[in-house]
Chain A
Amino acid sequence: MFRTASIVALVVFLLTIGADSSIAQSGESDYKAAYGSALAANTKAGELKNQWTRTGSSLVAAHKAAAAGDYAQAVQFSREAEALANASIAQTEREKTLWKESEIH
């Protein structure tokens, strides 16, 4: 009886370790993908000379969270950075023509 219980405990323990490791790996790859997309969007914003300061700080926060092993938080910061970078790109595109409306005539 004691032996069976030990085996069950061992199996559960090993399964848990395996699952944790799998989650961590998946978290890291999710982070890398999210961070890569955010970085690419922010680079494009830079080419348009319109990066936003908050995008940069979100990227830094994502990097720090990943370094601390908190991939869920790192993904969240990366997605925030990507959304901000995309908003800055959209702003630049919009303003290519819209600026004329505020010109003094």
Chain B
Amino acid sequence: MRKIIVFITVMTIFGAQSCLAIESLAPEKDFKAFRGFFIKRFPKVPLDDFVNGPYSMNQDMRKQWIEKEELPPYDFSVDRGKELFSAQFKNGKTFADCFPNKGVGIRQNYPFFDEKKNEVVTLELAINRCLEANGEKPYSYLNDDMAAVTAYMAFTSRGKPFDIKVPNNPRALEAYESGKQYFYQRRGQLNFSCASCHVQNPGERIRGEMLAPALGILNAMPIYRSEWGGMGTISRRFTSCNSQVRATPLEPQDSSYRNLEYYLSYMSNGLPISGPGARP
């Protein structure tokens, strides 16, 4: 009887571990399929060019991008971000005290899964937590100061490949899966998912706007958008996408948005950070 119990226990543990191992392979499998899809669909686009979004889709768009980069419309934001980043808080500390490597060249590691808190931490969230921890008022996730600080931090990471990790932890895998589901799930009165535009129709136009491929879509964030007449954060991008399909946006940095960012960033692993960027 005792041997049977021991045998069952061993088999149960072995089964659970094996199940976890299979689950942990899912992100890697998704990654390969996702990348393969875009490479096959756009064979003429060099892999690293996907980070330029709609500007990677054809020669005319690429020319526009080159011209735009001669006098980048996001420069003012990088300057402002550098000022904010270096400014002392009331307690004498700065953003550098909150981040690894003093906050320089680390954009490519965000978002990450915090295994102590069991949640996805984005760069925008980490910036506001830093402000709050130092007795400062957090920034609006949708406005210029957040865009400026993230623009500066992205600028210090330019060229570094996205390096997002999904640890072998059921909660991390759950967050990853939830982000994936959000990406593919249709919502809003127009019945669109993120994938409807950015997987099924990249390179096509919706009215005057050329749709960007999902691969590399966050590498250029934050962005200056001509349509917005200013800078926008990832939070702004997600909430405005929701509004465009007539879905009421969630609160910025809602766990669904953070999980979505986690999934999309993981899909772009290995592609260089190009932010801040400019978009039509």
* B193 touching A53, Cβ below 8 Å: no
User: Chain B: how many interface residues by the 8 Å CB criterion?
Assistant: 25
Given contacts A52-B246, A103-B180, 6 further A-B contacts (CB under 8 A): A50-B187, A51-B248, A53-B246, A53-B248, A87-B189, A99-B186
Task: Check B243 for interface membership: any CB of A closer than 8 A.
Answer: yes
Interface members, chain A 33-92 (any B CB < 8 Å) = 46, 49-56, 84, 87-88, 91-92
* Interface residues of A, Cβ cutoff 8 Å to B: 46, 49-56, 84, 87-88, 91-92, 95, 98-100, 102-105
Q: Write out the residue numbers on chain A whose beta carbons fall within 8 Å of the beta carbon of B247.
A: 50-53
* Interface residues of B, Cβ cutoff 8 Å to A: 30, 33-34, 37, 180-181, 184-189, 191, 193, 195-196, 199-200, 243, 246-248, 250, 254, 256
Q: Which residue of B lies closest to A48 (CB)?
A: B187
> Shortest beta-carbon distance, A90 to chain B, in Å?
11
**A104: contacting residue among B191, B193, B199, B246, CB under 8 A:** B199
> Shortest beta-carbon distance, A104 to chain B, in Å?
5
Q: Write out the residue numbers on chain A whose beta carbons fall within 8 Å of the beta carbon of B199.
A: 102, 104
* B189 touching A53, Cβ below 8 Å: yes
* A103 touching B184, Cβ below 8 Å: yes
Evaluate whether A91 and B248 lie within 8 angstroms (CB atoms) in the complex, with A102-B184, A104-B33 already known.
Answer: no
Q: Write out the residue numbers on chain B whose beta carbons fall within 8 Å of the beta carbon of A92.
A: 187
